[in-house]
Structure 1
Amino acid sequence: MTFVVTESCIRCKYTDCVDVCPTDAFREGPNFLAIDPEDCIDCAVCVPECPVQAIYADEDVPGDQQDFVALNAELARAWPAITRLHAALPDAEAWAPVKLKRAELKR
C-alpha cells in the first residue's frame, strides 16, 4: 500500500506533509504535490498534516479520485523531490475550499 495525493492539493500545495515524511517520498510540480509509490513506506504521518485533507491510503481514495493513484506514480517519475517545508501557493486559501480543480493541474 502507498499514500496518494488527490485533487484537493491542486492550486494549494501546502507542504506540511513534506516536512514529516521520513523517506522524502514527495515530488513537487508547479501547483500540486505527488507521492512516489516507490519511496512511500505507508507510515501515514503525512495524512494528518495536510490542511486540505488531500492525502489518502491508495485503498481509501474516493471513487471519483481513483485516477490520482496512477497520476501520482506518473508525476513522481517526472518531478523532483521536495524535502523541505515552504510557503503554500499565494492563493492557496482561496483555492482550498474549491472541490473541482482537475483542469487547473499543471504538469
Structure 2
Amino acid sequence: MTHVVTEACIRCRYTDCVDVCPVDCFHAGPNMLVIDPDECIDCAVCIPECPVNAIYAEDDLPAGQQAFVALNAELATVFPVITKAVPPLPDADAWKDVTDKLPMLER
C-alpha cells in the first residue's frame, strides 16, 4: 500500500510533509505534490503534517479521490523529487478550502 496526495494539494503545495518523510518519495509539480508509490514505505508520518489534509493511505481515500492513485504514480515519473520544504504557493491560503480543483492541475 502507498500514500496518495489528493486534490486538496492543487494550487496550495504546502511542503511540510516533505521534511518528515524518511525516504525521497515526494515529487513537486508546478502546483501540486505527488507521492511515488514505488518509494513510499507506508510510514504515515506525512499525513498529520499536511495543513490541508491532502494525504491519505490508499485504502482510506475519500470518495471521488481514487483517480489520484494513478495520477500520483504517473506524475511521479515526470515531476522532480523534492527533499526539503519550500514555501507554499503565494496564494495557497486562498485555495486551501476550495474543492473541485483537478482542472487546475498543471502538469
TM (norm. structure 2) is 0.99
Provide runs of 4+ in structure 1 moved above 4 Å. Answer: none
Alpha-carbon offset, residue 24 of structure 1: 1.1
Stretches of structure 1 that go unaligned for 5 or more consecutive residues are none
User: Distance in 2 between the 1:100 and 1:30 partners?
Assistant: 18
Aligned to 1:56: 56
TM (norm. structure 1) is 0.99
Stretches of structure 2 that go unaligned for 5 or more consecutive residues are none
Equivalences for 1:1-107 in 2 at 5 Å? Answer: 1-107=1-107
For these two proteins, the number of residue pairs brought into alignment is: 107
Q: Secondary structure at the match of 1:4?
A: strand
Residue type of the alignment partner of 2:24: D
Alpha-carbon offset, residue 85 of structure 1: 0.7
Residue type of the alignment partner of 1:14: Y
* C-alpha RMSD of matched pairs (Å): 0.5
Normalized per residue, the structure richer in helix is: 1
Residue type of the alignment partner of 2:20: V
Q: Secondary structure at the match of 2:4?
A: strand
Alpha-carbon offset, residue 63 of structure 1: 2.2
Structure 1 vs Structure 2: percent identity of aligned residues? 65
